[in-house]
Structure 1
Amino acid sequence: MINWVRVALCGALLVLVSLVLMPVQILCLWLDLKPRRWLPRFWHRVACLLLGLRVRVHGEPERRRPLLLSANHVSWKDILVLSSVADVVFVAKSEVKTWPVFGLLARLQASVFIERDQKRTTGHQVNEIGRRLADGEIVVLFPEGTTSDGNRLLDIKTSLFGAAASAVPHSPTGVVHVQPLAISYTGIHGMPMGRYNRPIAAWPGDIGLVPHLLGVLREGALDVDVDFGEAVDYDRHANRKDVSRTIEARIRSMLSDRLRGRPKLDRVVARAER
């Protein structure tokens, strides 16, 4: 049974924090001030805490710039999780702008909105992503184009990796770094989450947002693991499809290893500690 007192308290606290930070973020976006990049991270950390999302990070974002993060996509919670880890902006489908609450949050985070079905605007959208990358922003791309059930990586779409190519001429080193990232929902109430109950954390498109949100609150604390993989250097000689295949293989490997409970990164760390 949902603890409605907890739901009301968490909601009230999140609204209060939002009302305080929102005008500041709007001003920072308008004046192009640096806090516009890290204020969303603070808000998302508070949101993760209130929603019971316990985030564990393995590895770290590539320190060199420009940086494009490519991640698997399970749920709207991925946005909260990744935004609590680093100062990032997202590539989102255009209809997100019209969503209640989430649309506003996406705009406040300066997300890049794309028209999936409008091929004539693809070049402009790719150039906008490239401009953000060249400006030093960390851009997150969900190349599957939709959400999965959390147990596997869907086939990725390669077209938006062209954003890396468009940023290459503006990079001081002539290289854009594309880093794979795996998001794994691994536990609930501190207990391991199996493949049959992992869809509790997932948000397939045919389920309404409010019912799913209530389900998350009903189930309680979720453990989320974020694995950063080895980046691929994208220069003027790189082949977009080759880069996308490499990134796909690395995300798939990290996700599979993490869900099996014995990721390679942890094994390396364990051996080093001995």
Structure 2
Amino acid sequence: MQSTLMAAFRLFLFVLWTLVVIPPYALTMLVRGPYRSFARLYWRVVCRITATEVVVKGVPATARPLVMVANHTSYMDIVVLGSLVRGAFVAKSEVAGWPGFGTIAKLGRTVFVDRKRTAAGRQRDEIVRRLVKDREPLIFFPEGTSNDGNRVLPFKSTLFNVAEKPVNGETVTVQPVSIAYTRIDGMPMGWAGRPYYAWYGDMDLAPHLWALLGHGRVTVEVEFHRPVQAAQFPHRRDLSAWCEAVVRAGVARALFGRDLPADPPLPPPEDECAPAAVAATAERAPAPAAASPVA
């Protein structure tokens, strides 16, 4: 009974807060005001309403243009990352039609990706505009779907094509981010408890959200890893694999409460590369001290 009352109370606060925020937020966007900071405030209050405690390690990269790639466990990932990053999400086009969440996503200036090939050019133009003209970090979920919170699914390398080459003459920085749901009311969550927060497979959204709102305080650990550039890797697939390994290691550390496994090292330059190509790569790669703002 207590969880039902708690879920109803939190849902009421969430709806009320959203309705209060929409008019001034829409006006801020219209006049090109500080809408990113406004959106971040919105998500921070949602964290408070849903009793979500966010523990952060590392810092978001300051380089622009910037793409962040993260593992994807739940719709709560958007709440958590939105409270930390003044950026926009990249989501599948189906999200735009979700009741309530679709409206919030549109207000958050989400870039909706259509799987149809005919839309590829238009979508890339929108992504380029956000990255270069608006200087807005974009957040991708390269798994392509959500997981059960206990593992990281393989990353799809095609989603890294936006960072493979310079965009309008500017090199895109890529920063891996790991997200792990670790505790409920201060106690370790465990494998069995994580599906209460993970939304995956054929789970229905409404009952899952209702159950989530009725639970206690959840701790979510977010780690911003070392930012890199595609020029440091032989191919887009290598960049994708390295980011996947980094995120996988970060999630494992958070779930098991240990310092290991360590993040994988960057790959050395290919031996068969021509000296000129190696020199060009070295010029475009950041210096070791500046490449990682992570403490």
After TM superposition, the structure 1 = structure 2 runs for residues 1-274 of structure 1, keeping only pairs within 5 Å, are 1-31=1-31, 33-116=32-115, 118-134=116-132, 135-165=134-164, 168-170=166-168, 174-235=170-231, 239-263=235-259
Alpha-carbon deviation of 1:52? 1.0
Alpha-carbon deviation of 1:235? 4.7
Deviates more, 1:212-221 or 1:134-143: 212-221
Report if the CA contact (8 A) 1:54-1:223 is conserved: yes
- Specify the SS of the correspondent of 1:184: strand
Alpha-carbon deviation of 1:202? 0.5
Q: C-alpha separation between the residues in 1 aligned to 2:33 and 2:163?
A: 23
Report if the CA contact (8 A) 1:55-1:226 is conserved: yes
Report if the CA contact (8 A) 1:126-1:162 is conserved: no
Report if the CA contact (8 A) 2:4-2:214 is conserved: no
CA 1:124–1:257: 2 relative to 1, 3 Å: same
Q: C-alpha separation between the residues in 1 aligned to 2:189 and 2:137?
A: 30
Q: C-alpha separation between the residues in 2 aligned to 1:67 and 1:169?
A: 11
The Cα offsets for residues 128-173 of structure 1, whole Å up to 9 and x where unpaired, read as: 222211121011000001000001110111112112246x2335xx
Q: C-alpha separation between the residues in 2 aligned to 1:83 and 1:160?
A: 20
Q: C-alpha separation between the residues in 1 aligned to 2:232 and 2:126?
A: 18
Q: Which segments of 5 or more consecutive residues in structure 1 lack a partner in the other structure? A: 267-274
Q: Which segments of 5 or more consecutive residues in structure 2 lack a partner in the other structure? A: 263-295
Q: Corresponding residue for 2:279? A: none
Q: How many residues align?
A: 261
Deviates more, 1:107-116 or 1:121-130: 121-130
Report if the CA contact (8 A) 2:7-2:211 is conserved: no
TM-score by length of 2: 0.82
Q: C-alpha separation between the residues in 1 aligned to 2:98 and 2:61?
A: 32
> Percent same amino acid among aligned pairs?
41
Deviates more, 1:157-166 or 1:184-193: 157-166
Deviates more, 1:2-11 or 1:101-110: 2-11
Question: Alpha carbon RMSD of aligned pairs, Å?
Answer: 2.1
The Cα offsets for residues 6-30 of structure 1, whole Å up to 9 and x where unpaired, read as: 3343333333322222112212223
Alpha-carbon deviation of 1:236? 10
- Specify the SS of the correspondent of 2:176: strand
Q: C-alpha separation between the residues in 2 aligned to 1:142 and 1:156?
A: 8
- Specify the SS of the correspondent of 2:59: coil
CA 1:119–1:238: 2 relative to 1, 3 Å: farther
Deviates more, 1:122-131 or 1:79-88: 122-131
- Which amino acid in 2 is paired with 1:85? L
Report if the CA contact (8 A) 1:40-1:109 is conserved: yes
Q: C-alpha separation between the residues in 1 aligned to 2:109 and 2:30?
A: 11
Q: C-alpha separation between the residues in 2 aligned to 1:215 and 1:7?
A: 7
